[in-house]
Copies of this chain bind each other. A is one copy, B any other.
Amino acid sequence: MGDATTRVRFKEPQIEMAHGAGGKASRRLVEGLLAPLLLRGGELGDAALLDFDGCALAITTDAFVVTPITFPGGCIGDLAIHGTVNDLAVSGARPEAIVVSLLLEAGLPTTVLEAQVRAMADAAARAGVRVVGGDTKVVEHGKVDQLYITTTGIGRRLPGVTLSARSVRPGDRVIVSGPIGDHGITILLARGGLDLESDLCSDTRSVFPMVETLLQAVGPDIRWMRDPTRGGVATALNELAIDSGLSVHLQEDAIPLRAAVRGACEILGLDPLHIANEGQFLVVVDASRAEEALSVLHGTSRGAEAAIIGEIRDAPAACVLVATPYGGTRIVDMLVGDPLPRIC
């Protein structure tokens, strides 16, 4: 635990939106201040692994502050369930129970609250996870933007699965479960600042059914998984590259991407690799099982667009590269700044 002598490397004078965006600034805050003091520098995964008398559990917590609170394909309520379920899933755990902390502003219409609570209940029922407890606090009007939800999930780790950046090896393949960027661009369009017509929807969903099917088929050869939410695929893979010391080489034309996401990103100068997803996950798998893993995902109910998008190499160290269809290669960094605040 931190004590008065624990050194804090985070030197920025104040907290900015970017420190919550999941990219470089978030990592500086977590690695420079929060982890040294609170976690004693323990590994930062999507979920913490706990063992109680031989019972292997995982626990994860996430706050949801998305705006607007409803958007095509979802709302803050189902996002709050799916996000926590997915953090457990990509840690190799079956989501079992969730507790809910609600922060409400005074003056929030009951109809708004009820709709979000129903969405949470429905999402939990669909995901097969029980809500077992909660807490509600109310603050003055305006001191919360309608409502924020923190969900904490506990799951049981699936046997025979070891997921860690440290077990990733050169030659391993990278798979994504489906088209990227749908959630982030949907939120952007829902804010109405862009005059774009689209029938794009958030991809918010539980990925556990897909993860479970995959792990049952090729479990021991899956090295690492992550749901690329804030900061997108680029940030998740940069974290993998840093934590493993290896490099990730992507083929740009292999990455599934809807036309509406591509178009919005081109207009706005955003890289789809930086856009948040809420219903996709990344997998690193031994090369010899990659085609089999892909075929398994293609057989799941919403996995038809899963694709092998790249591979792990040993050089250059700690780096993510993308080969373009024109023969060039570019380095893709973690998200810098916060082009889309409050995306989840």
Contacts and interface: CB of A to CB of B under 8 A. Distances in A.
A118 B3 CA distance: 7
A289 interface: no
A26 B135 CA distance: 10
A37 B108 contact: no
Contact of A118 (B17, B37, B120, B140): B37
Contacts of A260: none
Contacts of A133: 39, 44-45, 47-48, 59-61
Contacts of A73: none
Interface string A86-107: 0000000000110111111111
Contacts of A13: 109-110
Contacts of A16: 106-107, 138
B97 A50 contact: yes
Within the oligomer, what is the number of copies of this chain? 2
Interface residues of A, number: 87
Contacts of A12: 110
Contact of A20 (B1, B30, B137, B156): B137
Contacts of A195: none
Given A1-B124, A139-B342, 10 more contacts: A1-B122, A2-B122, A15-B108, A16-B106, A19-B104, A37-B117, A47-B133, A55-B55, A61-B99, A150-B152
Please name the 8 residue pairs, one residue from A and one from B, whose CB atoms are nearest each other, closest first.
A20-B138, A2-B121, A48-B132, A1-B125, A152-B152, A48-B133, A61-B99, A150-B150
29 contacts: A2-B121, A3-B121, A4-B118, A13-B109, A13-B110, A16-B106, A17-B139, A19-B104, A19-B138, A33-B110, A34-B117, A34-B134, A37-B114, A38-B121, A42-B132, A44-B133, A48-B132, A48-B133, A50-B96, A52-B55, A53-B54, A59-B152, A60-B99, A63-B135, A63-B136, A65-B139, A99-B152, A139-B341, A140-B341
